[in-house]
Every structure is written in structure tokens, then in C-alpha cells.
Structure 1
Amino acid sequence: MSKISVIGAGGRVGSGCVRNIAEILGKKGNENTKNTLAMIDIPQALNLMKGMAMDIKDAVLNDVEIFASDNRADIAKSDIVVITAGKPRGPGMTREQLLSENAVIIKGIAEDIAKFSPDSKVIVVSNPLDVMSYVTYTTMHKISSKVGREIVGMGGVLDSMRYRKFIAEAFNCGIKDVSGAIVLGIHGEGMVPIESTVRLKRLKIKEEDKEKLREAVKKTISAGKTIADFGASAYFAPGAAVARMVNAILEDTKEILPCSVIPNGKYEIDDELFIGLPVRLGKNGIEEIVELKISWEEKSKIKTAAECLTNNLTHIFI
């Protein structure tokens, strides 16, 4: 049996994660072996989550056990804990203020994970994602000696899904025809959509078609803002991205996915921070950081993104 807990499940992103994870857990269980999905949030969201749990059970119609709680102790013995909690950026709020305020929230959550479910793998979804992944790791490592490979940030999986879609649209082809669409670096404006690895029907992009690819890059970088400008927010796609990561860990697929991780010297990044890099994700968390054959310019952009993240860490006051 498997148990997954989502902290911040009362929010849109959190509930989106629950919906998609429930599909995966349901396929793995039966009436005799039910997998468990815990929805965790603040007391004010408890009744909302109870209603969501009923609705999601009706939607997936499988044997997963879903329950709602405002007590973080209920994450005990989770295989994976997903963190989606945190404040959105409000009017007049600087990026530095958002960093500091969410860092305090995530630090408290990380302390409780270390206390109640220290052996779980942790997937961080809260923004600013790379910095919140770092806060989660440093907090848990101090308390429970949590190793870095067991904590990953979601960002690159979502960004790469968008990148692949925009490439398919730009070239008027099927999404299945697109491979090698991967986004590294920061989950935000400092992301680095990799052009050199992209293939259409396993063939390199022709030089005369490079401008189409660059348009797909631009749309990928601005996708989150575009959704927000329409008055919406992304929660379906983040939920799907998290579910893909959960499946890779539970099924030990060792699928290569772009996740926010500690570089450990890979891609010539020696600083202790979290940044989007391609990894093999399996039952132990990060099984390996994969060094792709990318251009010198793309490597340089990733290093620049790392420098930006190092600077962001100076704005955290916890």
C-alpha cells in the first residue's frame, strides 16, 4: 500500500494535485489493498476539503482512500509528501517580500514533515519554487539529516509540458511527434528552454525553422503570465506534472524529468541551491542527475540562472 499526503490541498493547485494523484493510486489498489491520499490544510479549509474529497472520489471512481485533515500529524508514514501551500503575490508586494513570507510558511511545514514523516520523499510545488525547495531541504536536513536526493521541486516538468505543446503548435504537428523538449534553470522568468535537444519525428530542427522554435520558447517563458492575464491561474497542469513525478517514484520508472534539485557540481554549478536539471526519478528520489549534450550558450544560461538563485537566497529571513 502507498500513502501520499498533499499539504495545502484546500487550494486550487493542491486540489488539482489530489485529483491527478487519486487516479494513479486507484490504478495501483483494489478493494483489499487500498492506497491512501491525505488532504492537509489549515482548519478554515477543512470542510472545503471534505467536500472536495467526496467530489474527487466520485470523479475517479476507484478504490483509493481519500481523507481531509487540519492536523499535519496525519501525514505520518507517507511515502511522498507534496507541498503546495503558500501565499500568492499580492498587490504592492515585492518579490523579496513574497520570498520571505513564504519561506516562513514552508519552513514550518518542513519542520512538521521532519517530525511526523521523516522518511518520505518530498515534492515541492510552492512558489518561488526553487527557493522554497531549498528552504525545505535545509530545514529538514538540520532536523532529520534528510538527504538532498529525497527532495525535488516540480517546476521543470510543468514548463517542459508547455514547451512541447507550443512546439507542436508552431510546427503544426502532433505532440507525440515532438521529443527532447526540456526546460531547465529557474521555474520562472529565468527558465532555460533547451533548443538543441528538440526533435520533430526524431529529426533535428532545420536552420530555416529555428525562428518557429524561438517563438515556442518565448511562449513557454510567458505562459504563466499569459494565463494570469486572462484572470485564471494554473492548477490542472501543475496537478498533472506532480502526478507524473509521483508515478515515477512509486513505480520506480527512472524516467528522466527536469526537476529542481541540488546540482552537486553538475553543469559546473558548485553552489548549494536548487535549480532545474534533468534527473532520473525513481523509488529513492533522485537516482541520477543526467548531463545532456547541450550547447555552450545553453550551459551558460543555466549558470546565470544559478547565480540569480544564489542572489535570491540572500532575501530570505527565517
Structure 2
Amino acid sequence: MFAARQVFGAAQRRAFSASARANSKVTVLGAAGGIGQPLSLLLKLNPRVSELALYDIRLAPGVAADVGHINTKSTVKGYDPTNAGLRDALTGAEIVIIPAGVPRKPGMTRDDLFNTNASIVRDLAKAAAQYSPDANILVISNPVNSTVPITAEVFKSYGVYNPKRLFGVTTLDVVRASRFISQLKETDPANENITVVGGHSGATIVPLLSQSGYNLEGEKLDAYVHRVQFGGDEVVAAKDGAGSATLSMAMAGARFAESLLKAAQGQKNVIEPTFVDSPLFKDQGCDFFASNVELGPNGVEKIHPVGKITDYEQKLLDVAVGDLAKNIKKGVAWVKENPGN
């Protein structure tokens, strides 16, 4: 698991470096934003990353100059906001992470961000389809339930769609679910790993406490599930309109990138929850779904089923699948109606 002590420990850095590939280029599209900057920092600290390419519509060279002074071996370069800059940032990338977009403000849902962020993701996906079609694409930009299908449709239009290489980053839901249960049970959150399935917005987020041996009931269970589903709102309110969940999301994105790099570099049994093209609920119009996914050198190796759940969790899951089908359909319809230039 991605953790601060792993990032900063000299022994871990030496061990990781010994097993790292000669070239692991990671590209961040939206590197100067609220998520992009701390994400770039964490990636610079990761010895599995040999080259860090930072792109944004403004300030990417400055962020690269700043992050580039950190005393780890990877090279860092910031690219100008031009077509050539975007092309060069993407070319040769093993992982492309897309946190670009506008943040939520108080009272906004993820769907309120839809039109603006959909356009941004569509245009960046077009560039990735042209210049890094074989990379693992990690979508952070909300609403993930719709932006991942948008990205898939763009890659299909270029004839380069590989469902094993496209991921919606839902790791933050697991991070929150694990932290929140540790607060209730007074356990070490680093030892918690609550399974979360579904999507990445409100009622589509389904924590499966029963699979971790916990048994909350009544109002305590309702309150826990609500906090996991709407943890992002908690951060937006606490920041008083000045931002959304950027630091925790950056950590979650870095953790998922780390897992992909581990798997690509030969580590076995690397399992992370992620929103992918999934067979689990396709018969209900839900072409994408987040569940535990085993990662490997080719991206998705195995999609784990939901497994045994309680009646309470089944009701949550039924709602999630229905909402997800609508979110996915909305993304597909939007990109077909708005193909861009």
C-alpha cells in the first residue's frame, strides 16, 4: 500500500530502485492544479518513476522547476500549453494521470461539474489516444462515472481503445472508508482496507463493511455509509468554498499509480479498487463498475466479483447500479453529441 513511510524511507527507496524499470515515464495532465501539484510531489518521491512529465494550461514549467529540486533520481520536465507541448508530454508515457478540471464549490455535486470537465477530459483523451495510446490512463477528473466512459468513447473513435488500460481512480473512497472505520473502532487505519464497489459519486459509492468483519447497525451504520459516500462534501464545507478534496485525492492517485507500477514491474497479487470496463453489471446497462481489480503488466488482469454481501448492502448496490447506468449513458451520449474539433 502507498504510505508516507514508504515514500520517505531510504531503505525502501533503495529496494524499489533496485527493482524499477529503466524507464517509467508518468505524465500528469493538469499538474498545476489543486490535485496536480501534490500529486506531482508524491510521484517525484516515488523511486519507481524515472521520468515525470507535467502539463497544464498554465504554470506547468514552474511546478516542474519546483518539484525538480527534490533530491530523488527521477527527471522532471514541465511542458508549455501548446499542441507540441502536450504531444511531447504524452509521448512514451507508461502512465497518464488526468486530474485536470474545475473543483467543486459548496452546494455543487459532481454532476454540476459535468459540462466543463467533460470538455477538458475529451480534449485530453484525444491527445492521449494519438500520442500515448498504449499507456495506462488514470482518470481523476469528476464526475468519474461519466468522464471514464467519455474517455473510452474517444479512444474507440481513434481505434485504440483497450479496456484493460483505462481506469477511473476510486481509491479515495477506500482510503476514506478505511480511515472512518478506524476512527469508530479505534484501530490503526493503515491496517484497514475496506472494500468499496460501485462508482465515485454519492449513492454510487458502496462500502462493504461486512467483508471486513465489521458489524455496525442502525443509525451508526447509516451515518458511516453517508460519510463515506459524501466525504467530499465534508471537505468542501470545511474549506469554506476555497477548494475541494485535493490533498487526499492526490495521495489516492499516487497510491493507485504506485500499484500499477508495482504490477508492471512484476509484483504479483496487486489488487486495487478501480472503475473499469467491467462485465459484472453490463446486463443492467452498467458497462463500467468499480470493484477489486488485480493489476498486471497489461493493466487489468482480473476483475473480482462483488462477493457475498448483506441485505443492507444489496439495497445500496441496487441503487448504485441504477444511478451508474444513468451516469455512464450520460457520458456516452454527451461525447457523441459533442465530438469537438
CA distance in 2, matches of 1:301, 1:281: 27
What letter corresponds to residue 198 of structure 2 in structure 1?
A: G
Shift of 1:182: 1.9
In 2: Cα distance, 1:120 partner to 1:287 partner: 15
Q: Deviations over 1:264-313 (max 9, x none)?
A: 2x157553532322211222111111114232533453343232122233
Give the corresponding residue for 2:186: 172
Q: How many residues align?
A: 297
Percent identity between matched residues is 27
Query: 2:211–2:309: 8 Å Cα contact kept in structure 1?
Result: no
2:294 equivalent to 1:286 = no
Superposition deviation, residue 97 in structure 1: 5.8
Q: SS in structure 2 opposite 1:281?
A: strand
Q: Distance in 1 between matches of 2:184 and 2:108?
A: 36
Q: Distance in 1 between matches of 2:189 and 2:230?
A: 20
Larger displacement relative to structure 2 (306-315 or 103-112): 306-315
Which amino acid in 1 is paired with 2:132? S
Alpha-carbon distance between aligned partners in 1 of 2:261 and 2:111, rounded to the nearest angstrom:
36
Q: Look up the match of 1:112.
A: 127
Map 1:181-220 → 2, pairs under 5 A:
181-190=194-203, 191-198=205-212, 204-205=213-214, 212-220=220-228
Distance verdict in 2 for CA 1:10–1:18, change over 3 Å: same
Which residue in 2 is equivalent to 1:275?
289
What is the distance in 2 between the residues matched to 1:61 and 1:8? 23
Which aligned pairs between 1:116-131 and structure 2 lie closer than 5 A? 116-131=131-146
Tell me, yes or no, if the aligned pair for 2:281 and 2:289 is still in contact at 8 Å. Answer: no
Choose from 244, 253, 273 the match for 2:255.
Answer: 244
Q: 1:210 to 1:164 in 2, by over 3 A?
A: farther
RMSD: 2.5
Q: For residues 72-95 of structure 1, give each alpha carbon's deviation from its aligned partner in whole angstroms, at most 9, with x where no partner exists.
A: 101101001111112335689886
TM-score, normalization by structure 1: 0.84
Q: Which residue of the partner structure matches residue 63 of structure 2?
A: 52
| Contact 2:26–2:53 (CA under 8 A) maintained in structure 1 | yes
Query: Which of these residues, 236, 244, 253, is aligned with residue 228 of structure 1?
Result: 236
CA pair 92-165 structure 1, distance change in 2 beyond 3 A: closer
* Alpha-carbon separation, structure 1, partners of 2:107 and 2:181: 35
SS in structure 2 opposite 1:144? coil
Matched, 1:28 2:42: no
Query: In the alignment, which residue of structure 2 is the partner of 1:64?
Result: 74
After TM superposition, give the deviation of residue 217 of structure 1 in Å: 2.4
Detail structure 1 runs of 4+ shifted over 6 Å in the superposition: 90-95
Q: 2:29–2:98: 8 Å Cα contact kept in structure 1?
A: yes
State the secondary structure of the residue aligned to 2:182: helix
Q: Deviations over 1:227-281 (max 9, x none)?
A: 10012422222122112221222221442211111222x1575535323222112
Distance in 2 separating the partners of 1:296 and 1:206: 10
Picking from 142, 152, 157, the partner of 1:142 is: 157
State whether residues 16 and 238 of structure 1, in contact with CA within 8 Å, keep that contact through their aligned partners in structure 2. Answer: no
Quick check: 2:294–2:302 contact (8 Å CA) kept in 1? yes
CA distance, structure 2, for counterparts of residue 171 and residue 269 of structure 1: 38
Partner of 1:245, secondary structure, is helix
Cα distance change of structure 1 residues 233 and 152 upon mapping to structure 2, 3 Å threshold: same
Q: 1:270 to 1:251 in 2, by over 3 A?
A: same
Tell me how far apart the structure 1 counterparts of residues 107 and 309 of structure 2 sit (CA, whole Å).
39
Change (3 A) 1:118 1:153: same
